[in-house]
């Protein structure tokens, strides 16, 4: 194992070979909690959000709310925000750099203070990720929009309802538009919206705050109000964390019971897992067991907007296919550069070739432990999964990404019988 590189964050050391058994509770969804936290900016009243996962992204969002002037407290998954003191309309670049989702502060700041200055997020490891659709929406809504010195400046004199069609389906773009329009008196229409369960959870919150939102197909009709109220809300379970544990159960040939799962949000993932060789047993409204049926079968997986197969589960399912005899293909339709885990999985003995947006996977008998590097959140999760079944030791460097999106991952895995240790950052 070389250690000549300097690592910016902790590593995981995983010893492969233990089948996972037992019960794991799935946390509240990160990508539902974030827009809901930002939506609190729209009101002066106290907001209580339950089952918010304890993650770096959530801490960053809370810090941003504090910088803007809100107060708040957190205990055991419950976050209480008192947003009445919000006076600042600036989201500094150091926060946006740490957490791309801070672009969700544009809409509530414009809605409440009629002004926002938000640092422009750059591209990131999974793709360029432009925000042209967000800006086009704000401009269409009547805001003055300018980009200067790395900041987006938004300002509006008179808020008015709008009809807008997104050129492409964007999750946070839809969320920004829904948040803003909930604060605009009158009837607005959004077309070609994202329908991810996290978007729907945000819409539920905006309704609790006093907006009227109806969604039919990919169209939303929003009747907003200037007088938005505080709310109490429990965020939906994290469908990506649930999917990740389902893959872990299947991969290791174990038997993991997942609690706090909403199977209605997981149709496309369950279909693919069943096609590969998993059996999904529902044990009640929010409990499920996923076990191996027999030998795995190769599959063709195409990522797509909800209700399609989520891009956030692509890397994890790739590990299953990597040890499945035969040839499988994954086509990544959402992000142009979301195959960085391939190079790392190949270091562990996988045989995967990327051509454009397709990954061609030739199943191998086994993976072998190696030193691998995390590049983004879901890629890192796939490396941990690979480590769980690899022969020998896998060291996963820079797991900072995992801490952004998986709550207490090593604790949860260890409780199921995995051998996972955290190595503190190595300074060299
Ligand atoms: N896009 C544009 N212009 C825009 C907006 C998006 O070209 O103005 C493109 C993107 O570059 C991408 C596609 O449209 O190719 C879809 O991007 P989208 O805007 O839907 O992604 P996002 O809102 O930035 C959210 C999640 C991601 C998840 C994607 C896709 C949050 C905070 N993030 O990102 O989650 O992968 O939707 O479902 O909700 C993760 O949790 O690991 C993660 C990356």
Q: Is the dihedral of CA 166, 172, 177, 182 positive or negative?
A: positive
Which tokens in the block code for residue 55?
A: 């993650």
- Please report which confidence band the pLDDT of residue 4 belongs to, taking 50, 70 and 90 as the band edges: very low
Residue 72 burial class via C-beta count within 10 angstroms: exposed 0-12, middle 13-18, buried 19 and up: middle
The arithmetic mean of pLDDT across residues 30-55, rounded, is: 98
Contact partners, residue 48, CB within 8 Å, separation at least 6: 78, 79, 80, 230, 231, 232, 233
Contact yes or no for 381/404 (Cβ under 8 A): no
Give the contacts of 62 (CB within 8 A, at least 6 positions apart): 37, 72, 74, 79
The reply to whether ligand 1 has any atom less than 6 angstroms from the CB of 378 is: yes
Give the model's confidence band at 285: pLDDT under 50 very low, under 70 low, under 90 confident, else very high. confident
* Nearest Cα to Cα of residue 320 among 364, 265, 283, 373: 364
Q: What is the pLDDT of residues 368-382, one digit of tens each?
A: 999 999 989 999 999
Say if CB 83 and CB 70 are below 8 A apart: yes
* 201-221: average pLDDT: 98
Average pLDDT over residues 194-206: 98
Average pLDDT over residues 385-406: 95
Which residue is it, tokens 């030193």?
371
| Residue 171 Cβ contacting ligand 1 at under 6 Å | yes
Atom number, ligand 1, closest to the C-alpha of residue 376: 42
Q: Which ligand 1 atom is the nearest neighbour of the CA of 170?
A: 20
Query: What pLDDT is recorded for position 198?
Result: 98
Arithmetic mean of pLDDT, 15-33: 97
Q: Is the pLDDT of residue 306 over 70?
A: yes
Compute the average pLDDT of residues 12-28: 97
Q: How far is the C-alpha of 401 from the C-alpha of 232, rounded, in Å?
A: 29
Cα atoms in the Cβ-side hemisphere of radius 13 Å centred on 42: 34
Residue 137 predicted with pLDDT over 90: yes
Whole-angstrom distance, CA of residue 143 vs CA of residue 46? 28
Residue indicated by tokens 């827009």: 35
Residues contacting residue 245 through CB under 8 Å, at least 6 positions apart: 24, 26, 256, 258, 412
With a 6 A CB cut-off, is 31 part of the ligand 1 pocket?
A: yes
- Residue 46 pLDDT exceeds 50: yes
**The predicted structure's pLDDT at residue 6:** 63
Q: Give the pLDDT mean for 229-239.
A: 98
Query: Whose CA is closest to atom 43 on ligand 1?
Result: 312
Average pLDDT over residues 383-387: 98
How far apart are the CA of 172 and the centre of ligand 1, in A? 7
133 in contact with ligand 1, CB cutoff 6 A: yes
134 lines ligand 1 (CB under 6 A): yes
CA distances from 34 to 31, 128, 212, 364 (A): 6, 21, 21, 39
Reply yes or no on whether the pLDDT at 3 is more than 70. Answer: no
Q: Which residues of 77-114 are buried (b: 16+ CB within 10 A; e: fewer)?
A: bebbbbbeebeebebebebbeebbbbbbbbbbbbbbbb
DSSP class of residue 334?
S
Q: Is the pLDDT of residue 311 over 60?
A: yes
In this prediction, residues 261-266 reach a mean pLDDT of: 97
Q: How far apart are CA 235 and CA 270, in angstroms?
A: 21
Residue from 60, 64, 145, 170 to probe ligand 1 pocket by mutation (most atoms less than 8 Å from CB)? 170
Could you give the maximum distance between any two Cα atoms of the chain, in Å?
64
Q: Report the share of the chain in percent with pLDDT over 90.
A: 89
Are the CB atoms for 409 and 57 separated by under 8 Å?
A: no
Please report, for residues 35, 66, 221, 269, the alpha-carbon distance to residue 107 in angstroms, rounded to integers and kept in the order given: 10, 17, 17, 31
Q: Tell me what pLDDT residue 204 has.
A: 98
Helix axis angle, 30-39 to 56-68, nearest 10°: 0
In this prediction, residue 427 carries a pLDDT of: 61
* Virtual torsion, Cα 53, 57, 58, 60, nearest 10 deg: 160
Ligand 1, atom nearest to 196 Cα: 38
CA of 126, closest atom in ligand 1: 44
Per-residue model confidence (pLDDT) at position 1 = 43
**pLDDT for residue 425:** 83
Arithmetic mean of pLDDT, 182-200: 98
Cβ 311 under 6 angstroms from ligand 1:
yes
Catalytically active residues are 124
């Amino acid at each position: 194992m070389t250690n000549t590189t300097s690592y910016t964050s902790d590593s995981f050391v995983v010893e492969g070979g233990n089948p996972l058994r037992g019960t794991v509770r799935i946390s509240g969804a990160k990508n539902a909690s974030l827009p809901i936290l930002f939506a609190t900016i729209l009101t002066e009243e106290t907001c209580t959000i339950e089952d918010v996962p304890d993650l770096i992204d959530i801490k960053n969002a809370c810090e941003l709310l504090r910088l803007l002037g809100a107060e708040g407290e957190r205990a055991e998954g419950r976050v209480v925000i008192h947003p009445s003191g919000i006076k600042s309309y600036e989201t500094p670049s150091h926060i946006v750099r740490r957490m791309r989702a801070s672009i969700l502060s544009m809409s509530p700041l414009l809605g409440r203070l009629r002004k926002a200055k938000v640092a422009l997020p750059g591209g990131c490891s999974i793709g360029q990720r432009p925000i042209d659709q967000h800006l086009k929406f704000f401009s269409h809504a009547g805001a003055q929009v300018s980009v200067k010195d790395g900041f987006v400046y938004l300002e509006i004199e008179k808020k008015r309802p709008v009809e807008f069609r997104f050129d492409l389906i964007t999750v946070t773009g839809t969320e920004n538009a829904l948040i803003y329009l909930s604060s605009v008196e009158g009837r607005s229409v959004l077309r070609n919206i994202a329908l991810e369960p996290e978007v729907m959870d945000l819409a539920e919150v905006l309704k609790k705050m006093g907006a009227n939102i109806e969604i039919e197909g990919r169209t939303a009709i929003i009747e907003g109000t200037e007088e938005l109220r505080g709310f109490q809300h429990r965020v939906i379970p994290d469908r990506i964390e649930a999917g990740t544990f389902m893959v872990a159960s299947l991969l290791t040939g174990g038997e993991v019971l997942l609690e706090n799962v909403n199977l209605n949000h997981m149709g496309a993932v369950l279909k693919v897992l069943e096609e590969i060789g998993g059996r999904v047993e529902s044990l009640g409204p929010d409990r499920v067991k996923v076990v191996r049926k027999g030998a795995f079968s190769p599959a063709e997986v195409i990522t797509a907007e909800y209700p399609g197969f989520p891009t956030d589960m692509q890397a994890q399912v790739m590990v299953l296919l990597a040890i499945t005899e035969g040839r499988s293909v994954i086509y990544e339709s959402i992000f142009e550069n979301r195959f960085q885990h391939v190079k790392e999985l190949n270091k562990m003995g996988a045989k995967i070739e990327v051509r454009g947006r397709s990954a061609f996977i030739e199943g191998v008998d086994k993976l072998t432990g190696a030193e691998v590097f995390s590049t983004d959140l879901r890629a890192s999760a796939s490396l941990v999964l690979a480590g769980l079944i690899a022969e020998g030791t896998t060291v996963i460097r820079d797991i900072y990404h995992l801490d952004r999106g998986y709550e207490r991952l090593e604790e949860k895995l260890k409780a199921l019988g995995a051998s996972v240790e955290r190595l503190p950052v190595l300074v060299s």
